[in-house]
Amino acid sequence: MKNIEAFGIIGGDKRQLAAAQAIKSEGYTVHVSGFEKIKDEVSCFGGTMPHEECVLCSDVIIFPLPLTKDNMTLNTPFSEKRIYLNEEFARLFRGKLVFCPSKDKLVKTGRYWQEAKVYDFLNREEMQVCNAVPTAEGAIEIAIREYPGTLNGSRCLVTGYGRIGRVLAKMLCGMGAKVYVSARRKDSLAWIRLGGYTPVEHSDIINSGEFDIIFNTVPALILDAHIMAKIAVRSLIIDLASQPGGVDFESAKRMGIKTVHALSLPGKTAPKTSGEIIKETIFNILEEEKF
Protein backbone atom coordinates (compact mmCIF):
# COMPACT_ATOMS: atom_id res chain seq x y z
CA MET A 1 0.00 0.00 0.00
CA LYS A 2 2.81 2.36 -0.85
CA ASN A 3 0.62 4.67 -2.92
CA ILE A 4 -1.70 5.52 -0.11
CA GLU A 5 -1.04 8.12 2.53
CA ALA A 6 -4.28 9.58 3.79
CA PHE A 7 -7.72 8.16 4.55
CA GLY A 8 -10.92 10.19 4.89
CA ILE A 9 -13.85 9.05 7.01
CA ILE A 10 -17.09 10.87 6.23
CA GLY A 11 -20.11 10.33 8.47
CA GLY A 12 -21.15 7.32 10.50
CA ASP A 13 -21.22 6.35 14.14
CA LYS A 14 -18.66 5.15 16.68
CA ARG A 15 -17.73 2.27 14.45
CA GLN A 16 -16.32 4.64 11.88
CA LEU A 17 -14.28 6.36 14.58
CA ALA A 18 -12.96 3.00 15.71
CA ALA A 19 -12.03 2.25 12.10
CA ALA A 20 -10.31 5.66 11.94
CA GLN A 21 -8.39 4.86 15.11
CA ALA A 22 -7.33 1.45 13.79
CA ILE A 23 -6.11 2.97 10.51
CA LYS A 24 -4.24 5.74 12.32
CA SER A 25 -2.50 3.25 14.57
CA GLU A 26 -0.95 1.68 11.46
CA GLY A 27 0.75 4.96 10.67
CA TYR A 28 -1.60 6.51 8.11
CA THR A 29 -3.02 10.01 8.17
CA VAL A 30 -6.74 10.05 8.85
CA HIS A 31 -9.12 12.96 8.25
CA VAL A 32 -12.68 12.89 9.53
CA SER A 33 -15.80 14.80 8.57
CA GLY A 34 -19.32 14.85 9.98
CA PHE A 35 -18.57 14.63 13.68
CA GLU A 36 -19.45 18.14 14.88
CA LYS A 37 -21.41 16.83 17.85
CA ILE A 38 -18.48 14.96 19.36
CA LYS A 39 -15.62 17.32 18.63
CA ASP A 40 -13.57 16.20 21.61
CA GLU A 41 -13.47 12.62 20.49
CA VAL A 42 -12.15 13.50 17.06
CA SER A 43 -9.53 16.01 18.15
CA CYS A 44 -6.89 13.29 17.72
CA PHE A 45 -7.65 13.41 13.99
CA GLY A 46 -7.25 17.19 13.85
CA GLY A 47 -10.97 17.76 14.41
CA THR A 48 -13.88 17.35 12.02
CA MET A 49 -13.52 19.14 8.68
CA PRO A 50 -15.89 20.04 5.82
CA HIS A 51 -16.46 16.99 3.67
CA GLU A 52 -15.18 18.66 0.51
CA GLU A 53 -11.85 19.33 2.19
CA CYS A 54 -11.76 15.83 3.63
CA VAL A 55 -12.14 14.32 0.14
CA LEU A 56 -9.51 16.61 -1.27
CA CYS A 57 -6.89 15.64 1.33
CA SER A 58 -7.51 11.88 1.19
CA ASP A 59 -6.49 9.09 -1.20
CA VAL A 60 -9.12 6.73 0.17
CA ILE A 61 -12.56 7.73 1.43
CA ILE A 62 -14.70 5.52 3.62
CA PHE A 63 -18.49 5.85 3.84
CA PRO A 64 -20.64 4.96 6.83
CA LEU A 65 -22.66 1.91 7.75
CA PRO A 66 -25.47 2.17 6.79
CA LEU A 67 -24.76 4.47 3.87
CA THR A 68 -28.00 6.40 4.25
CA LYS A 69 -31.11 6.21 6.38
CA ASP A 70 -33.43 8.32 4.22
CA ASN A 71 -32.13 7.37 0.77
CA MET A 72 -31.32 11.04 0.18
CA THR A 73 -28.51 12.09 2.50
CA LEU A 74 -25.41 10.46 3.85
CA ASN A 75 -25.86 8.88 7.29
CA THR A 76 -24.22 11.43 9.66
CA PRO A 77 -25.69 10.94 13.13
CA PHE A 78 -22.99 13.08 14.76
CA SER A 79 -23.61 16.13 12.56
CA GLU A 80 -26.46 18.59 12.01
CA LYS A 81 -25.32 19.27 8.47
CA ARG A 82 -26.98 17.30 5.70
CA ILE A 83 -24.84 15.90 2.91
CA TYR A 84 -26.97 15.11 -0.12
CA LEU A 85 -26.12 12.09 -2.24
CA ASN A 86 -26.33 13.79 -5.61
CA GLU A 87 -24.35 14.45 -8.75
CA GLU A 88 -22.49 17.36 -7.15
CA PHE A 89 -21.38 15.13 -4.32
CA ALA A 90 -20.36 12.35 -6.67
CA ARG A 91 -18.18 14.71 -8.67
CA LEU A 92 -15.91 15.25 -5.69
CA PHE A 93 -14.68 11.69 -5.83
CA ARG A 94 -13.32 11.54 -9.36
CA GLY A 95 -10.08 9.59 -9.30
CA LYS A 96 -10.48 8.60 -5.68
CA LEU A 97 -10.71 5.20 -4.01
CA VAL A 98 -14.04 4.89 -2.24
CA PHE A 99 -15.14 2.18 0.20
CA CYS A 100 -18.80 1.91 1.04
CA PRO A 101 -21.61 -0.43 1.93
CA SER A 102 -24.47 -0.78 -0.58
CA LYS A 103 -22.36 0.12 -3.61
CA ASP A 104 -25.31 -0.45 -5.95
CA LYS A 105 -27.31 2.22 -4.20
CA LEU A 106 -24.43 4.70 -4.12
CA VAL A 107 -23.45 4.54 -7.78
CA LYS A 108 -27.03 5.27 -8.82
CA THR A 109 -26.86 8.69 -7.15
CA GLY A 110 -24.63 10.26 -9.79
CA ARG A 111 -22.89 9.45 -13.06
CA TYR A 112 -19.59 10.71 -11.72
CA TRP A 113 -19.26 7.62 -9.58
CA GLN A 114 -18.07 5.92 -12.76
CA GLU A 115 -14.93 7.98 -12.49
CA ALA A 116 -14.17 6.83 -8.98
CA LYS A 117 -12.99 3.39 -7.94
CA VAL A 118 -15.77 2.20 -5.67
CA TYR A 119 -15.51 -0.95 -3.55
CA ASP A 120 -18.24 -2.49 -1.43
CA PHE A 121 -16.72 -3.60 1.85
CA LEU A 122 -19.95 -4.86 3.37
CA ASN A 123 -20.58 -7.73 0.97
CA ARG A 124 -17.10 -9.19 1.48
CA GLU A 125 -17.29 -12.64 2.95
CA GLU A 126 -14.76 -12.01 5.73
CA MET A 127 -16.63 -8.86 6.76
CA GLN A 128 -19.87 -10.80 7.01
CA VAL A 129 -18.21 -13.59 8.95
CA CYS A 130 -16.56 -11.25 11.43
CA ASN A 131 -19.73 -9.20 11.85
CA ALA A 132 -21.54 -12.31 13.00
CA VAL A 133 -19.53 -12.14 16.24
CA PRO A 134 -20.83 -8.85 17.67
CA THR A 135 -24.31 -9.83 16.49
CA ALA A 136 -24.15 -13.11 18.37
CA GLU A 137 -22.72 -11.45 21.49
CA GLY A 138 -25.43 -8.84 21.42
CA ALA A 139 -28.03 -11.58 21.20
CA ILE A 140 -26.50 -13.36 24.17
CA GLU A 141 -26.48 -10.16 26.20
CA ILE A 142 -30.18 -9.69 25.50
CA ALA A 143 -30.90 -13.29 26.40
CA ILE A 144 -29.09 -13.10 29.75
CA ARG A 145 -30.82 -9.83 30.56
CA GLU A 146 -34.35 -10.74 29.51
CA TYR A 147 -34.60 -14.43 30.32
CA PRO A 148 -35.41 -15.02 34.00
CA GLY A 149 -33.37 -18.22 34.19
CA THR A 150 -29.75 -18.89 33.25
CA LEU A 151 -28.67 -19.66 29.70
CA ASN A 152 -26.72 -22.50 31.26
CA GLY A 153 -29.01 -25.48 31.19
CA SER A 154 -31.68 -23.70 29.15
CA ARG A 155 -33.19 -25.19 26.00
CA CYS A 156 -32.35 -22.91 23.07
CA LEU A 157 -33.34 -23.06 19.43
CA VAL A 158 -31.36 -21.27 16.74
CA THR A 159 -33.13 -21.19 13.40
CA GLY A 160 -30.72 -21.24 10.49
CA TYR A 161 -27.06 -22.28 10.31
CA GLY A 162 -25.61 -19.45 8.28
CA ARG A 163 -22.89 -17.21 9.62
CA ILE A 164 -24.82 -15.86 12.58
CA GLY A 165 -26.40 -19.19 13.43
CA ARG A 166 -23.02 -20.87 13.41
CA VAL A 167 -21.34 -18.33 15.69
CA LEU A 168 -24.32 -18.01 17.98
CA ALA A 169 -24.75 -21.77 18.42
CA LYS A 170 -21.08 -22.08 19.39
CA MET A 171 -21.34 -19.33 21.99
CA LEU A 172 -24.59 -20.65 23.46
CA CYS A 173 -22.99 -24.06 23.74
CA GLY A 174 -19.99 -22.41 25.42
CA MET A 175 -22.38 -20.89 27.96
CA GLY A 176 -23.75 -24.34 28.74
CA ALA A 177 -27.12 -24.14 26.97
CA LYS A 178 -28.74 -27.14 25.32
CA VAL A 179 -28.58 -26.00 21.73
CA TYR A 180 -30.89 -27.05 18.90
CA VAL A 181 -30.27 -25.68 15.43
CA SER A 182 -32.70 -25.92 12.56
CA ALA A 183 -31.75 -26.06 8.88
CA ARG A 184 -33.04 -27.42 5.63
CA ARG A 185 -30.09 -28.98 3.83
CA LYS A 186 -28.83 -32.43 4.77
CA ASP A 187 -25.22 -31.34 4.87
CA SER A 188 -26.09 -28.40 7.14
CA LEU A 189 -27.80 -30.87 9.45
CA ALA A 190 -24.65 -32.99 9.42
CA TRP A 191 -22.50 -29.99 10.34
CA ILE A 192 -24.93 -29.05 13.09
CA ARG A 193 -24.60 -32.49 14.62
CA LEU A 194 -20.81 -32.31 14.30
CA GLY A 195 -20.86 -28.96 16.06
CA GLY A 196 -22.33 -30.73 19.06
CA TYR A 197 -25.86 -29.39 18.66
CA THR A 198 -29.12 -31.21 18.06
CA PRO A 199 -30.11 -30.81 14.41
CA VAL A 200 -33.76 -30.13 13.56
CA GLU A 201 -35.17 -29.98 10.04
CA HIS A 202 -37.03 -26.70 9.47
CA SER A 203 -40.14 -28.71 8.66
CA ASP A 204 -39.81 -30.59 11.93
CA ILE A 205 -39.43 -27.63 14.29
CA ILE A 206 -43.04 -27.99 15.34
CA ASN A 207 -42.30 -31.41 16.81
CA SER A 208 -39.14 -30.49 18.66
CA GLY A 209 -40.72 -29.58 22.00
CA GLU A 210 -40.88 -26.35 23.96
CA PHE A 211 -37.94 -23.98 24.14
CA ASP A 212 -36.82 -21.46 26.74
CA ILE A 213 -35.22 -19.13 24.23
CA ILE A 214 -35.53 -19.01 20.44
CA PHE A 215 -33.09 -17.07 18.26
CA ASN A 216 -34.27 -16.51 14.71
CA THR A 217 -31.59 -15.84 12.08
CA VAL A 218 -33.64 -16.66 8.97
CA PRO A 219 -35.24 -13.78 7.03
CA ALA A 220 -38.42 -15.72 6.31
CA LEU A 221 -41.50 -16.40 8.38
CA ILE A 222 -40.42 -19.58 10.13
CA LEU A 223 -42.02 -18.81 13.46
CA ASP A 224 -45.67 -18.48 12.54
CA ALA A 225 -48.55 -18.60 15.02
CA HIS A 226 -49.07 -22.30 14.47
CA ILE A 227 -45.49 -23.22 15.33
CA MET A 228 -45.21 -20.75 18.19
CA ALA A 229 -48.29 -22.28 19.80
CA LYS A 230 -46.42 -25.57 19.98
CA ILE A 231 -42.88 -24.59 20.91
CA ALA A 232 -42.84 -21.02 22.18
CA VAL A 233 -45.65 -20.32 24.62
CA ARG A 234 -43.20 -19.86 27.46
CA SER A 235 -40.26 -18.71 25.33
CA LEU A 236 -38.29 -15.56 24.91
CA ILE A 237 -37.92 -14.96 21.16
CA ILE A 238 -35.01 -12.91 19.87
CA ASP A 239 -35.24 -12.09 16.18
CA LEU A 240 -31.92 -11.30 14.51
CA ALA A 241 -33.18 -11.26 10.93
CA SER A 242 -33.34 -7.87 9.24
CA GLN A 243 -36.69 -6.15 8.60
CA PRO A 244 -39.37 -7.47 8.52
CA GLY A 245 -37.76 -10.31 10.49
CA GLY A 246 -38.83 -13.92 10.68
CA VAL A 247 -41.36 -13.81 13.49
CA ASP A 248 -45.11 -13.20 13.45
CA PHE A 249 -44.86 -10.47 16.09
CA GLU A 250 -48.57 -9.76 16.23
CA SER A 251 -49.52 -13.31 17.00
CA ALA A 252 -46.68 -13.48 19.53
CA LYS A 253 -48.06 -10.43 21.29
CA ARG A 254 -51.55 -11.90 21.34
CA MET A 255 -50.19 -15.12 22.81
CA GLY A 256 -48.26 -13.22 25.47
CA ILE A 257 -44.87 -14.34 24.13
CA LYS A 258 -42.02 -11.97 24.85
CA THR A 259 -40.18 -10.97 21.67
CA VAL A 260 -37.18 -8.77 20.94
CA HIS A 261 -36.41 -7.65 17.41
CA ALA A 262 -32.71 -6.93 17.66
CA LEU A 263 -31.27 -4.91 14.79
CA SER A 264 -27.83 -3.40 14.13
CA LEU A 265 -26.28 -5.21 17.06
CA PRO A 266 -22.64 -4.86 15.92
CA GLY A 267 -22.72 -1.08 16.17
CA LYS A 268 -24.45 -1.17 19.54
CA THR A 269 -22.65 -4.02 21.21
CA ALA A 270 -19.13 -3.60 20.01
CA PRO A 271 -18.37 -0.43 18.05
CA LYS A 272 -14.64 -0.90 18.64
CA THR A 273 -14.47 -4.39 17.19
CA SER A 274 -16.87 -3.47 14.40
CA GLY A 275 -14.61 -0.60 13.39
CA GLU A 276 -11.59 -2.85 13.40
CA ILE A 277 -13.40 -5.30 11.15
CA ILE A 278 -14.18 -2.49 8.69
CA LYS A 279 -10.55 -1.43 8.66
CA GLU A 280 -9.35 -5.02 8.26
CA THR A 281 -11.66 -5.67 5.33
CA ILE A 282 -10.69 -2.47 3.54
CA PHE A 283 -7.01 -3.24 3.98
CA ASN A 284 -7.56 -6.75 2.61
CA ILE A 285 -9.10 -5.27 -0.51
CA LEU A 286 -6.33 -2.69 -0.88
CA GLU A 287 -3.72 -5.45 -0.67
CA GLU A 288 -5.50 -7.70 -3.13
CA GLU A 289 -5.84 -4.82 -5.57
CA LYS A 290 -2.15 -4.03 -5.01
CA PHE A 291 -2.49 -0.36 -4.13
Q: What residue ranges bind its own copies (CB under 8 A)?
A: 14, 18, 124-126, 128-130, 132-134, 137-138, 140-141, 144-145, 147-153, 167, 170-171, 173-176, 185-187, 189-191, 193-194, 196, 269-273, 276, 284
Rg (CA), the chain: 22
In whole angstroms, what is the distance from residue 7 CA to residue 29 CA? 6
- The distance in angstroms from the start CA to the end CA of the chain is 5
DSSP letters spanning 265-281:
HHHHH-HHHHHHHHHHH
8 near 60, Cβ under 8 Å?
A: yes
Minimum CB separation of residue 163 from its own copies in Å reads: 9
Distance, in Å, from the CA atom of 46 to the CA atom of 202, rounded to the nearest integer, reads 53
Coil vs helix vs strand at 11: coil
Quote the CA–CA distance of 57 and 119 in Å, as a whole number. Answer: 19
Give least dist CB 181 to its own copies, A.
Answer: 15
Give 3-state DSSP helix, strand, coil % of the chain, rounded to 5. Answer: 45, 20, 40
Q: Which of 18, 86, 95, 102 is nearest to 56 (CA)?
A: 95
**What is the closest distance, in whole angstroms, from the C-beta atom of residue 108 to its own copies in the complex?**
28
Minimum CB–partner distance for residue 269 and its own copies (Å): 6
CB of 18 to its own copies, least distance (A): 8
Contact 185, 192 (CB under 8 A): no
> Is 55 or 177 the residue whose CB approaches its own copies more closely?
177
In whole angstroms, how close is the CB of 273 to its own copies at the nearest point?
Answer: 4
**Cα–Cα dist 22/262, whole Å:** 27
Q: How far apart are CA 202 and CA 198, in angstroms?
A: 13
Nearer Cβ to its own copies (111/234) = 234
Q: Which is nearer to its own copies, 191 or 249 (CB)?
A: 191
Least distance to its own copies, CB of residue 242, Å: 20
- Nearer to its own copies by Cβ, of 85 and 277: the residue is 277
